[in-house]
A and B are shown apart, each in its own frame.
Chain A
Amino acid sequence: MSNQRYEADVVVIGGGVTGCAVARELSRYELKVWLLERTEDVCSGTSKANSAIIHAGYDAAAGSVMAKMNVEGNRLMDQLAADLDIPFRRNGSMVLCFSEEDMPGLQELYVRGVTNGVPGLRIISGDEARRMEPNLTDEVVAALYAPTGGIVCPFNMTIALAENACENGVEFHFLTEVTEIRKCGEGYELSVRETGERTNVPASDSRKAEFGDGADMSGETAADLQEAAASENSVVRTLTTRFVVNAAGVYADRFHNMVSRRRISITPRKGAYCLLDQEAGRHVDKTIFQLPGKYGKGVLVTPTIHGNLLIGPTAADIGDKEGTYTTAEELAEVTAKSARGVKDIPYRQVITSFAGLRAHEAGHEFILGEPEDAPGFFDAAGIESPGLSSAPAIGAYLAKMIAEKAGALVKEHFIATRKGIPHVAAMDRESRAALIAERPDYGTIVCRCENVSEGEIVDSIRRPLGARSLDGIKRRVRQGMGRCQAGFCTPRTMEILSRETGIPMEKICKNQPGSEMITGEI
């Protein structure tokens, strides 16, 4: 369907994992879909700073939407990872119990998990747990073991969903902030402020946008876009749409409350983490939780899909929706709590720390679908943990609902798969050599800690929805994510980004406009 009265059939607000999953699922249908993102890239908010795990699904209350989405999302991950070339591994998870008194709590978790439909759950003794994970402390008396727990790269997952959505026709508008939403006939009228222009309209010839085949900037040079981004005079305009999807993370309450009287309130619940060097990455194999307390799941210790060790998060409600700072107290708390379940964590090998904001809604439940008084407006609100795990299911659920309501047909030529950027260092010798012979820039290593080649960096920029900032490159190919934290490769990467896009060096940003790396020439 294409409703001529509206510019878009569906506008998705927010380019996090939820928004991108919804957009990708919507792109299965004959619908004109726009995704509006306030920042310069997808995966710039909550989706980029979390535990990077796929929960098994025993945590959420039995019968809750959260439980349903989590278990379903987890189930969908194998296929999704295969289709979209997302690094994903079912490493299994454990919930540690530290005293006999707490055993009923562990039992309860087990029963809840079984009720939620989590496969393979077992309660194991402390000794068995230690046999599986030799670095668990002697304090552990028992554990709930969930073989379906997994680890994933949240950046790659979000970017893969977005790229695939883009390839299937979704228009992405970055640096585009929604300021108002008004009912307009059956649909909605949105006021948007464009703080810069960066639009990735799908290429008419989709093959052009495929890997390795050059940049497609939709006729505008990136330099122009960046220029616009930097200008003080942002442009305000309106657009109309039949349906809205509210996937705005910590800001979801703002948009919901613009159209509905049934108000919701999202509180940023901050979680701080420490990330350790890959040398510490095998300290545990499974994701190690502690029995949940008052604030969520406490502190976990987990390997990441890229082989680092991640510990955290803390949990503190804050007022500031942009408050992604860490405090000394939080970092100390992460350290102290993690040591209870896992011994000898080499804290000296911390390479970075960060904080993310959970979009916590008072009822601790996902709010999915239309408010009674705002038909056509679909919430994906209150998406806190297990939001990453649930994203595939939320996407499918909302897209189906919207398509049905719109009477949209399933697209005949939906492209279900997407190939990621080759991870050259992980290839076997022959494939790597062959690739370098074909594209010599895969043979120039730029980031030596993570062994990222110039070719991979170039790919990260040239792909559909390619990177336009250093963080964008980092999230796509891990440049600068290693132990030197971009000490050596920053100048070179800036140069490549500038060369590939035409963005002058002075305008190269770490992430958002305003985060320029240098202040001028000497």
Chain B
Amino acid sequence: MKHHDIVIVGGGPAGLAAAVAARKAGISDILILERDNVLGGILNQCIHNGFGLHTFKEELTGPEYAARYIAQMEEEKIPYRLNTIVVDITRNREVTYINREEGLVTIRAGAVILAMGCRERPRGALNTPGYRPAGIYSAGTAQRLMNIEGYLVGKEAVILGSGDIGLIMARRMTLEGAKVKVVAEIMPYSGGLKRNIVQCLDDYGIPLKLSHTVVDIHGKERLTGVTIAEVDANKNPIPGTEEYYSCDTLLLSVGLIPENELSKGAGISLNRVTSGPNVNDRLETEAEGIYACGNVLHVHDLVDFVSQEAALAGENAAEFVKRKASQAEADAAADGEKRKNAATAGERAAEDGERKKTVTASDTEEDAQPTHADRRGHANVIPLIAADGVRYTVPQFLETDGMRDSVTVRFRVADVYRDRYISVYYDDQLISRKKKKVLAPGEMEQVVLTKKSLAEYPRTERITIRTEVE
């Protein structure tokens, strides 16, 4: 079986940044497996600008942003395979992929980086009643058809959901001469970035109807119209508020779901809130040597943060590979010694037993209840708890042993909040708080934890991140 030091599943923004970082960290044997026929992932269809403000301090389009990383890839001569889909990953890091040239191939990886991205929630998942005609697209599918394939998907559109892709597509369709009649959002707030609402809807006079949803779909062959109604606090349509919109296209921007079928296949448990793997501060999943980054870990708003996160995963995977290599060397040296000592085997068994112990977190009220992996039953593992309006955190665990000087913790809030603090607690001790004028679920937030501050509280058992009114 062929071996590669690091195998990266996915050649989108996360996979690219992870590869480049791993190479810079000194790993030469890297392989990226990409299912599409080009590198860059979804960035390729994001032809609008607004990418790279954090990373490159300039405004790029999606393909331009991808090109920057692809150029680095080429420069570093990092190998990749296109039109190659990974069909299986095992916990001990055997990766099976398939493509037309090689057929079905299984390789062994020193470390695996999961960078598969996410998919869109389809209409079916909403269980919207009505007919099932042509003309109903998830926003990203329509975006691909327009921006990559060069086709118009329709002439009169209604958009359900105010996620960023929906907002971007409202503008995109308008620019191509289609009439976008309304954007309906079931929540009382938008799920997209504020800047997108301004630049994609307000600037074009496209109305955004909050607390509204599609309740009926008309047209047997091609869509002829939709019925939109206001919803109550429980998201149930309010009778009498129905409004009919004629249209030939309905775009859905109703959420993104990390694509973790492979992770699940590897037996990696997923977080209920993020639908991504639970990871430690090195972005390592509960399976040793398997890392996750980008939208497969949790859905991001900005690609810049994806790149940052992925670079971290790449560096850590590199470290892991190097550590294993030096361990193997040491093991080889000590091998003869060990064999003489029969007791060692017993010790190993005891150690394994210890590893298998699981710890159950006591706080069950929280949404983001992390599952503790078997090998995390160690004293140096501190769970991060999302509480009081914080829906989840990534990472979900901190391992103080190998902790870097600072760790960025990303999270989203559960609702729109005004004038609230974001507070960090080590157990019951308030460590830091920062006042925010507005917090919204559509905008990812972050706090930074430092090794230094944690060293001052060596007995910390849990770290809680919460919002506070006062």
- Count A/B pairs, Cβ under 8 Å: 139
Kindly supply a per-residue 1/0 record for chain A positions 433-460, scoring 1 wherever the CB is within 8 Å of any chain B CB and 0 otherwise. 1001100111111001101000000000
CA distance A488 to B221 in the complex (A): 21
Query: What residues of chain B lie closer than 8 Å to A443, measured between beta carbons?
Result: 98-104
CA distance A34 to B102 in the complex (A): 45
CA distance A517 to B137 in the complex (A): 9
Write the chain A residue with the least CB distance to B133.
A515
Distance (whole angstroms) from the CB of B200 to the closest CB of chain A: 18
Interface residue from A324, A432, A440, A442 paired with B131 (Cβ < 8 Å): A324
Interface residue from A437, A442, A448, A519 paired with B248 (Cβ < 8 Å): A519
Is the C-beta of B72 less than 8 angstroms from some C-beta in chain A? no
Please classify how large the interface on chain B is, using the bins under 10, 10 to 19, 20 to 34, 35 or more: 35 or more
Is the C-beta of A225 less than 8 angstroms from some C-beta in chain B? no
CA distance A432 to B102 in the complex (A): 12
CA distance A326 to B127 in the complex (A): 9
Write the chain A residue with the least CB distance to B119.
A484
- Among the 9-residue stretches A263-271, A286-294, A349-357, the one with 4 or more Cβ atoms under 8 Å from chain B is A349-357
Which residues of B (140-163) have their CB < 8 Å from a CB of A? 140-141, 144-146, 148-155
The answer on a CB contact under 8 Å between A445 and B151 is: no
Query: What residues of chain A lie closer than 8 Å to B144, measured between beta carbons?
Result: 491
**Given known contacts A487-B140, A521-B150, is B98 in contact with A354 (CB within 8 Å)?**
no
Is the C-beta of A429 less than 8 angstroms from some C-beta in chain B? yes
The answer on a CB contact under 8 Å between B129 and A351 is: no
The answer on a CB contact under 8 Å between B35 and A445 is: yes
Query: What residues of chain A lie closer than 8 Å to B123, measured between beta carbons?
Result: 352, 485
The answer on a CB contact under 8 Å between B154 and A519 is: yes
The answer on a CB contact under 8 Å between B127 and A441 is: no
Residue of B122, B124, B125, B261 with most chain A CB atoms under a 10 A cut-off: B124
Number of interface residues of A (CB under 8 A): 55
Is the C-beta of A336 less than 8 angstroms from some C-beta in chain B? no
The answer on a CB contact under 8 Å between B222 and A351 is: no
Query: What residues of chain A lie closer than 8 Å to B150, measured between beta carbons?
Result: 521-522
The answer on a CB contact under 8 Å between B221 and A491 is: no
The answer on a CB contact under 8 Å between A519 and B152 is: yes
The answer on a CB contact under 8 Å between A517 and B134 is: yes
The answer on a CB contact under 8 Å between A353 and B103 is: no
Is the C-beta of B197 less than 8 angstroms from some C-beta in chain A? no
Write the chain B residue with the least CB distance to A440.
B100
Query: What residues of chain A lie closer than 8 Å to B131, measured between beta carbons?
Result: 324-325
Which residues of A (487-507) have their CB < 8 Å from a CB of B? 487-488, 490-491, 495, 505-506
Write the chain A residue with the least CB distance to B237.
A328
Query: What residues of chain A lie closer than 8 Å to B104, measured between beta carbons?
Result: 429, 432-433, 436, 443
**Given known contacts A275-B124, A515-B221, A521-B151, is B134 in contact with A509 (CB within 8 Å)?**
yes
CA distance A429 to B220 in the complex (A): 42
Write the chain A residue with the least CB distance to B264.
A279
CA distance A485 to B135 in the complex (A): 14
Query: What residues of chain B lie closer than 8 Å to A433, measured between beta carbons?
Result: 103-104
Distance (whole angstroms) from the CB of A68 to the closest CB of chain B: 35
Is the C-beta of A41 less than 8 angstroms from some C-beta in chain B? no
The answer on a CB contact under 8 Å between B134 and A516 is: yes
CA distance A328 to B216 in the complex (A): 9
**Given known contacts A448-B85, A491-B145, is B153 in contact with A511 (CB within 8 Å)?**
no
Is the C-beta of A363 less than 8 angstroms from some C-beta in chain B? no
Kindly supply a per-residue 1/0 record for chain A positions 249-288, scoring 1 wherever the CB is within 8 Å of any chain B CB and 0 otherwise. 0000000000000000000000000110000000000000
Distance (whole angstroms) from the CB of B430 to the closest CB of chain A: 36
CA distance A31 to B461 in the complex (A): 82
**Given known contacts A331-B127, A350-B124, A437-B103, is B151 in contact with A490 (CB within 8 Å)?**
no
CA distance A250 to B152 in the complex (A): 36
Which residues of B (20-51) have their CB < 8 Å from a CB of A? 35
Write the chain A residue with the least CB distance to B223.
A515
Is the C-beta of A218 less than 8 angstroms from some C-beta in chain B? no
Is the C-beta of B250 less than 8 angstroms from some C-beta in chain A? no
Which residues of A (322-357) have their CB < 8 Å from a CB of B? 322, 324-328, 330-331, 350-354
CA distance A95 to B424 in the complex (A): 55
Write the chain B residue with the least CB distance to A445.
B85
Is the C-beta of B215 less than 8 angstroms from some C-beta in chain A? yes
Residue of A350, A484, A490, A521 with most chain B CB atoms under a 10 A cut-off: A484
Distance (whole angstroms) from the CB of A340 to the closest CB of chain B: 19
Query: What residues of chain A lie closer than 8 Å to B438, measured between beta carbons?
Result: none
Distance (whole angstroms) from the CB of A177 to the closest CB of chain B: 15
The answer on a CB contact under 8 Å between A436 and B100 is: yes
Query: What residues of chain A lie closer than 8 Å to B261, measured between beta carbons?
Result: 449
**Given known contacts A350-B125, A432-B104, A509-B134, is B148 in contact with A444 (CB within 8 Å)?**
no
Query: What residues of chain A lie closer than 8 Å to B132, measured between beta carbons?
Result: 324, 354
Which residues of B (186-236) have their CB < 8 Å from a CB of A? 215-217, 220-222
Is the C-beta of A510 less than 8 angstroms from some C-beta in chain B? yes
Is the C-beta of B345 less than 8 angstroms from some C-beta in chain A? no
Is the C-beta of B83 less than 8 angstroms from some C-beta in chain A? yes
Is the C-beta of A134 less than 8 angstroms from some C-beta in chain B? no
Counting from the closest, the 8 A-B pairs by CB-CB distance are: A352-B124, A485-B122, A514-B221, A440-B100, A510-B134, A515-B221, A443-B100, A515-B134
Q: B residues engaging A (CB < 8 A)?
A: 35, 83, 85, 87, 98-104, 119-120, 122-125, 127, 129-135, 137-138, 140-141, 144-146, 148-155, 176, 215-217, 220-222, 237, 248, 261
A-B contact pairs, 26 of them (CB 8 A): A274-B127, A324-B131, A331-B127, A331-B129, A353-B124, A353-B127, A353-B129, A432-B98, A436-B100, A436-B103, A437-B103, A441-B100, A442-B100, A443-B103, A445-B35, A445-B85, A448-B35, A451-B87, A484-B122, A487-B140, A510-B221, A518-B151, A519-B155, A519-B248, A521-B151, A522-B152
